[in-house]
Each structure stands twice: as C-alpha cells, then as structure tokens.
Structure 1
C-alpha cells in the first residue's frame, strides 16, 4: 500500500502557491489531488493557514463515499465540489479553488471571462464560463455539491473539461482543474491573469475582440494533435 508521499507533497506545494501567487487572502482557497487507482484524494484541511500547512495535515477522502479515511482534521468545506469534479471528469487529477480578485469580479458581475487575446487562448478553448445562479433550495441543502453541478452543467463532458479547465461559480469565484494538482493550480494562476487583462482591455475598448482563427492557432500549437510548443 502506498503512503502517497509524492501526491501529498504535490498537493502541499500547490496549496502553498495559492498564497505565494496572491490568489487568496487568509485561508480562502484550496487544492486537491487524486490517486485514481486508490480511489482517494487529498485536500487542504478546513481553516488551516498556508504557512502552518504540512503534508501530514492533508485530509484523505474516499472518492466514492466522500468519507475521510484518516487523520483528525476536517477537509475543506469545498471537498464535495472537488469530489464531484473527479467523479464527472475521469481525466482530471487535481482541482483548485481560489478567491482571486479579478476572477471574482467577473463572477460577481455574472460575466464569463471573454477570450480577448492569445494569452487566454493558450490555455482555455473559449471563454471561462460563469454558472447560472443557484436556487434557494440548492443553497439550503448540499450547497457545495450543487455548486459543482452548476459548473459541470456549464462545462460539459470530460473532453470539454480538459479543453477549458476552469469556470466561475456565480457570485462566488473560480474553480480550475487539470491532469495534476500542480496543473490545476497553474490554471488558477492563468485564470486570474487573463481576468485582469480582460478587465483592463474592456476598460480601454468595450467592443474588444480577437479573430477566431488566431485564438484557435494559439490553442492548437500547445494542445492540438500537432502541438509543437515546448520541449517536453
């Protein structure tokens, strides 16, 4: 049986990068990573500061049941949201949730983050969508689970989730994901960066747009069948 040392270290590092990248104040964010073979994911414990967080504090959660399988700490209140993404999208290996300022501004405005340039298109195939509003009943019961269900509705299937690895929960904030915990955190950093760029662009030119063929070219050169970006 694995002790998940490597996964714990990756999830720990990604959580600490939330604060280092300025994506959340206090404890307003969390990252998880999953071992698909074990049916187990590790997530930041609720309310623990990033400075105090250790690998041993990360909370193991059973994917199928949602039950904590070890330790004495409670998982992040967003654990059910993370679990729903893992169940819906088999290719996802990590999930990040933050309250980064510019992405939250779009979420609070009820607006998707539009694709206005190549920086956005390098990672996201289309706008970063904002969800519908949750109903009173959805807020009153299983709120975190219903938050994720609204995001899944906005994104679609597994392939769509990999092509567009982020969404905004309306009036709440961004959730991002990726094939690993670190990838999900990277997508959170990019989400915040393109949100800031979009806000400034729209302030200068409310009618700003970019040619669709240019955006597709930038996405394909990193993620398409004949991708050639990087040296991996």
Structure 2
C-alpha cells in the first residue's frame, strides 16, 4: 500500500510538471507571435510555489523548434529537477524576482525594440497618456548601471538584485508597475500568470514605442497628470475597478 501511494505521488508530481511546462511553452510561443522577440532572444518562466519549482525556456533554442518537453524545470536554487536542456541564461534573474516578490507568478524578458531603446539610454518610461496608465501606475523605472564587480560576479543574480533594489529605493509596488527597464540591457515584466506577464511585455513595448514618438514630436512633453493617471489605473485595478465583465 505504501509503495502504491509513493507511485501515485510520483505520477501526480510528474503530471503537475507537464501542465506547468505546457503553460510556459504556450506563453513563450506568444513572444514571437506578438513581435517581441527575434531569433532566440527572450524567455518566459513560471513559478509553482507549492512545489518550489520554476519552469523556464531552454537556453538558445528556437521558438519554432521548441516543444513543451523542452521546457526546463528547476528548483529555487537553479538546479534542474526535470528536463534535458540547459535553462535560460536569465534563470537566476528570474529567481531573484520570485524570491523578492511572493505576489508574482511569472516573469518575461525580451529585447523588444522600443523598450530596449529606453533601457539602452538608461531612461525611465514616463506616462504620457492613459494607455500607459491603464497598466503601469507611474513611470516604468530604469535601473542604475551595474558596477564592474557586479557584472563579473554573478551577473544574472546581480541583474535581479538591481531590479529589486530599484523598486525598494523608489518605493514602487511591483504589482502596480509590473515592469522594469534594466539599464543597457532590456525590459523585464511579470504578472500572476505567464499569459499576463507576456501581455504586460506587449503593453510595455507599445507604450515605449509611443513614448519614443511622443518625445520626437514634442521634445520636453510633460507626463500625464496624477489625477488622470490614478483615474485610469484604478478603473482597471483594485476593489473599485469598473472595467470589464464580472
């Protein structure tokens, strides 16, 4: 009887991984479909906090060739527990964010054109209108540059740490601003699910595109007022939200 219970637990655990890997594979397929990545750039991960594991895209693998079985499952120290591929090189950045913010369930990293432009010039993405305000309750911050010693020692972990540092120092709620620009690198977004995290990456790219064009059309353009920012954000988020269907 004891052996049967062990086998049942093992089969249940295996099935749970299969569902997690399928969900992460589907979210990764959304990236090229949305025009957020080219070649093998970018990745999506998802955490199962009950199981203590993270599933993530395999490193350097083409999206069109990837199957759910290629998704790599790791523990929270980065050790592979399921899968035969190497995990994304950004794994340890994702792990820092999961450890820092227990509210999030998925993380996305891309090198989408306009958001990366903002990151490469080390500039916050300012809220110029309500499209931005619907998702990001304030500017999307850009981190400071990593110091040489940080780059040389645990670069991916330090990238996660500088993201967490930026939000802590600026007193930004990561659930109200679900994205960041890593200076000289590119954007990261997150959400409660892989699908939502990818949608946030899509919105961030669109807002960055409009922001670049706004700045070219009207140099020195001012941010949207706080009143309008708050109104549009809270229409979609929080206990008083009125957007959408019950």
User: Residues 139-154 of structure 1: matches in 2 within 5 Å?
Assistant: 139-154=151-166
Match of 1:10 in 2: 23
Contact 1:59 1:73 in 2 (8 A): yes
**Post-superposition offset of 1:225:** 2.2
Decide which moves more: 123-132 or 152-161.
152-161
Match of 2:73 in 1: 60
Match of 2:84 in 1: 72
Q: Does 1:98 align with 2:110?
A: yes
**Post-superposition offset of 1:159:** 7.7
Contact 1:155 1:164 in 2 (8 A): no
Match of 1:169 in 2: 182
RMSD: 1.4
**Post-superposition offset of 1:7:** 2.2
Q: Does 1:222 align with 2:236?
A: yes
**Post-superposition offset of 1:95:** 0.2
Q: Does 1:201 align with 2:214?
A: yes
Match of 2:51 in 1: 38
Long gaps (5+) in structure 2: 1-11
Task: Give me the whole-angstrom Cα distance separating, in 2, the residues matched to 1:21 and 1:217.
Answer: 28
Task: Give me the whole-angstrom Cα distance separating, in 2, the residues matched to 1:68 and 1:78.
Answer: 14
TM-score normalised to the size of structure 1?
Answer: 0.96
Q: Deviations over 1:163-193 (max 9, x none)?
A: 1100011000000000111111110000000
Long gaps (5+) in structure 1: none
Task: Give me the whole-angstrom Cα distance separating, in 2, the residues matched to 1:68 and 1:7.
Answer: 15
- Larger Cα-atom Rg: 2
Match of 2:149 in 1: 137
Secondary structure of the corresponding residue to residue 220 of structure 1:
helix
TM-score normalised to the size of structure 2?
Answer: 0.91
Q: Deviations over 1:135-188 (max 9, x none)?
A: 111110100000111111112399811111000110000000001111111100
Task: Give me the whole-angstrom Cα distance separating, in 1, the residues matched to 2:102 and 2:53.
Answer: 13
Match of 1:25 in 2: 38
Contact 1:124 1:164 in 2 (8 A): yes
**Post-superposition offset of 1:217:** 0.3
**Post-superposition offset of 1:97:** 0.1
Task: Give me the whole-angstrom Cα distance separating, in 2, the residues matched to 1:224 and 1:39.
Answer: 28
Task: Give me the whole-angstrom Cα distance separating, in 2, the residues matched to 1:71 and 1:204.
Answer: 49
Q: Does 1:181 align with 2:181?
A: no
Q: 1:160 aligns with which of 173, 182, 195?
A: 173
